[in-house]
């Protein structure tokens, strides 16, 4: 019997806590060449075996290859299903919807000076439909998007000029949506730049590059851009709340061997590095020493330190899919992959079909760690499990694994809030409507309460259909998280 204290039955989440769902333009919208949208890095990421080389910045060409299938091009056709999709979220009772902006819908090459009206009009539809349903929009300004033209001409976030181009996007969005959007996230999973640098920063490496140096330089540019975006947001509308966003997940030491404990601390710091800057306002000493020692200190301009110090975020958001387990290189341990992170197999955990550990208590630990470190409101903006769904002959879809995963993670989150006292604004589960997987490009890795008829080869009608979990999540929201129980026959 575990001695972990947990909330009793029928305990709701605090008043004002927001429940909802999250998507990203490149995995959801489709319409990649409609209404003036320009080509983006995400459009060059094929499904299949070539994907990994592309998203890690080791691709050879910035043009489309007719032999490849690019799942982002049509996504799940949200572009033509906006009202239907948001109505489904509203039917579940969602109080918040997180979505991202496709940069090239607003500035097709990234260098225009006037925003594309059709691009803004598309996001008007999303924001206004949300508002009509009483759903709070939560906007990710950049979720793995970078205009290809900016990669071609200035090397993506290698270049400091990206800061101005990004701020121009922010200026257009903040002025256009002032009064209609409150919550903004500057960059999705900013730490992903170290693991998937083409997605995270439009970085393409050439032979001879010191890849780590290039990544830290690009990260510095994004961090300055994020701070300046926060400044701009507060100037344009003092009611805006600006958050950072990182891929979180506590790193456990594989054993209590001090070298394993030390290795785990380093993995945690790799993620916290970004948030230490975005939330505390300065490069932490451990990072400065590391960058100096390895001769990869990014070029910083006079005034950067002040910008970072003066414009820290209002809240901290993060994705949590799994914990990580880390061993020193001299410890013999089996390797696993999880959300583009390589970790060691944790013998106490079960794993999804894609090798991601399943660890609800790890969410509680993660929330506590982040709260202890920063003392700013938190927002869990991604959580969920990718599983294969089967449509039964009668058209119904049973998804007990998804319900159990979310029940256990919501319970852990509730415990972190109610028992441990962490301040959390809300929870948006990942992909409430099925969408394309970021890491693999598959459709068959599904997260949704709503099934989309689309397969890995690009076949299907895009028709939406509720799964068993749809009514379950609606019940969770209706009871404000007091009733997390599964339907009869599903309880385990
Ligand atoms: C995060 C990304 C999302 C999302 C999620 C699930 O890293 O922010 O875009 O895709 O992971 O990952 P996957 O789609 O690879 O299952």
Res 119: pLDDT = 98
- Other beta carbons within 10 angstroms of residue 154's beta carbon come to 17
- Separation of CA 439 and ligand 1 centre (Å): 6
Q: Is 382 in the pocket of ligand 1 (CB under 6 A)?
A: yes
| Pair type for strands 341-344 and 350-351 | unpaired
- Separation of CA 394 and ligand 1 centre (Å): 31
Is 212 a residue of the active site? no
Per-residue model confidence as pLDDT tens digits over 125-167: 999 999 999 999 999 999 999 999 999 999 999 999 999 999 9
Res 1: pLDDT = 65
Nearest partner of 342 among 194, 189, 190, judged by Cα: 194
Averaged pLDDT of the chain:
96
Q: Is 438 in the pocket of ligand 1 (CB under 6 A)?
A: yes
Res 329: pLDDT = 86
Res 8: pLDDT = 77
Per-residue model confidence as pLDDT tens digits over 373-414: 999 999 999 999 999 999 999 999 999 999 999 999 999 999
pLDDT band per the 50, 70, 90 thresholds, residue 287 = very high
Res 226: pLDDT = 98
Whether 481 has a pLDDT exceeding 80, the answer reads yes
Q: Which of 29, 222, 382, 442 is catalytic?
A: 382
Residue whose CA is at the smallest distance from ligand 1 atom 10: 438
Res 108: pLDDT = 98
Residue whose tokens read 């006079």? 302
Per-residue model confidence as pLDDT tens digits over 289-329: 999 999 999 999 999 999 999 999 999 999 999 999 999 98
Q: Is 430 in the pocket of ligand 1 (CB under 6 A)?
A: yes
Residue bearing the bigger pLDDT, 329 or 351:
351
Biggest distance spanned by C-alpha atoms of the chain: 65
Per-residue model confidence as pLDDT tens digits over 78-88: 999 999 999 99
In this structure, of 42-56, 58-72, 464-478, the range with the lowest mean pLDDT score is 58-72
Per-residue model confidence as pLDDT tens digits over 95-117: 999 999 999 999 999 999 999 99
Task: To the nearest 10°, report the CA torsion of 258, 263, 265, 267.
Answer: -170
pLDDT band per the 50, 70, 90 thresholds, residue 338 = low
- Separation of CA 189 and ligand 1 centre (Å): 9
Whether 343 has a pLDDT exceeding 90, the answer reads no
Give pTM, 2 decimals: 0.97
- Separation of CA 383 and ligand 1 centre (Å): 9
What domains, with CATH codes, occur in the chain? 18-478 (3.20.20.80)
Per-residue model confidence as pLDDT tens digits over 199-215: 999 999 999 999 999 99
Res 492: pLDDT = 64
Please report the atom of ligand 1 found closest to the CA of residue 445.
16
User: What is the mean predicted confidence (pLDDT) over 339-347?
Assistant: 82
Res 125: pLDDT = 98
Q: Is 445 in the pocket of ligand 1 (CB under 6 A)?
A: yes
Per-residue model confidence as pLDDT tens digits over 177-199: 999 999 999 999 999 999 999 99
Nearest partner of 454 among 27, 25, 21, judged by Cα: 27
Q: Would you list the DSSP string of 2-57?
A: -------TTPPPPTT-EEEEE--HHHHT--TTSTTPPPBGGGG--SSTTHHHHHTT
pLDDT band per the 50, 70, 90 thresholds, residue 336 = confident
Res 25: pLDDT = 98
Residue whose CA is at the smallest distance from ligand 1 atom 5: 438
- Separation of CA 307 and ligand 1 centre (Å): 30
Q: Are 225 and 305 in contact (CB under 8 A)?
A: no
- Separation of CA 341 and ligand 1 centre (Å): 12
Please report the atom of ligand 1 found closest to the CA of residue 435.
14
Q: Is 437 in the pocket of ligand 1 (CB under 6 A)?
A: yes
* Percentage above 70 pLDDT, the chain: 99
Q: Is 140 in the pocket of ligand 1 (CB under 6 A)?
A: no
Res 2: pLDDT = 81
User: What is the mean predicted confidence (pLDDT) over 284-292?
Assistant: 98
Please report the atom of ligand 1 found closest to the CA of residue 144.
9
Rounded distance between C-alpha atoms, residue 201 and residue 146, angstroms: 7
């Amino acid at each position: 019997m575990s001695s972990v204290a947990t909330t009793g039955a029928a305990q709701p989440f605090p008043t004002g806590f927001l429940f909802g769902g999250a998507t990203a333009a490149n995995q959801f919208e489709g319409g990649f060449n409609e209404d003036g949208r320009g080509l983006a890095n995400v459009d060059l990421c094929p499904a299949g075996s070539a994907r990994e080389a592309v998203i890690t910045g080791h691709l050879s060409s910035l043009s489309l290859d007719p032999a490849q299938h690019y799942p982002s091009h049509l996504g799940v056709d949200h572009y033509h299903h906006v009202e239907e999709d948001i109505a489904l979220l509203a039917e579940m009772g969602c109080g918040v919807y997180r979505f991202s902006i496709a940069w090239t819908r607003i500035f097709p090459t990234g260098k225009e000076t006037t925003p594309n009206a059709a691009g803004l009009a598309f996001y008007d539809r999303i924001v206004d439909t949300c508002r009509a349903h009483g759903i709070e929009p939560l906007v990710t300004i950049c979720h793995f998007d970078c205009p290809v033209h900016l990669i071609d001409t200035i090397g993506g976030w290698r270049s400091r000029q990206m800061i101005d181009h990004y701020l121009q996007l922010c200026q257009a969005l903040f002025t256009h949506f002032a009064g209609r959007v409150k919550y903004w996230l500057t960059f999705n999973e900013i730490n992903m730049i170290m693991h998937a640098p083409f997605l995270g920063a439009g970085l393409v490496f050439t032979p001879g590059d010191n890849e780590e140096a290039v990544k830290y330089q690009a990260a510095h540019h994004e961090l300055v851009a994020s701070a300046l975006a926060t400044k701009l947001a507060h100037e344009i509308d003092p009611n805006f709340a600006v958050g950072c966003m990182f891929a979180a997940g506590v790193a456990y030491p594989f054993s209590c061997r001090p070298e394993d404990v030390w290795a785990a601390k380093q993995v945690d710091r790799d993620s916290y590095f970004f948030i230490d800057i975005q939330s505390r306002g300065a490069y932490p000493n451990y990072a400065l020493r590391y960058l100096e020692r390895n001769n990869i200190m990014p070029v910083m301009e006079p005034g950067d330190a002040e910008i970072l110090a003066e414009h820290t975020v209002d809240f901290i958001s993060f994705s949590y899919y799994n914990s990580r387990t880390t061993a020193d290189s001299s410890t013999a341990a089996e390797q696993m992959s999880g959300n583009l992170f390589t970790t060691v197999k944790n013998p106490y955990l079960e794993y999804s079909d894609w090798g991601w550990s399943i660890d609800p208590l790890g969410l509680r630990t993660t929330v506590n760690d982040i709260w202890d470190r920063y003392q700013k409101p938190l927002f869990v903006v991604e959580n969920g499990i990718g599983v294969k769904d089967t449509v039964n002959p009668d058209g119904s879809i049973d998804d007990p694994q998804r319900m159990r995963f979310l029940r256990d993670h919501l319970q852990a989150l509730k415990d972190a809030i109610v028992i441990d006292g962490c301040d959390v604004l809300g929870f948006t589960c990942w992909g409430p409507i099925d969408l394309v997987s970021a890491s693999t490009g598959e459709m068959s890795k599904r997260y949704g309460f709503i099934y989309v008829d689309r397969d890995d080869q690009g076949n299907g009608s895009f028709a939406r259909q509720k799964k068993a979990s749809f009514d379950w999540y609606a019940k969770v929201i209706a009871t404000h998280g007091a009733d997390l129980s599964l339907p009869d026959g599903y309880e385990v």
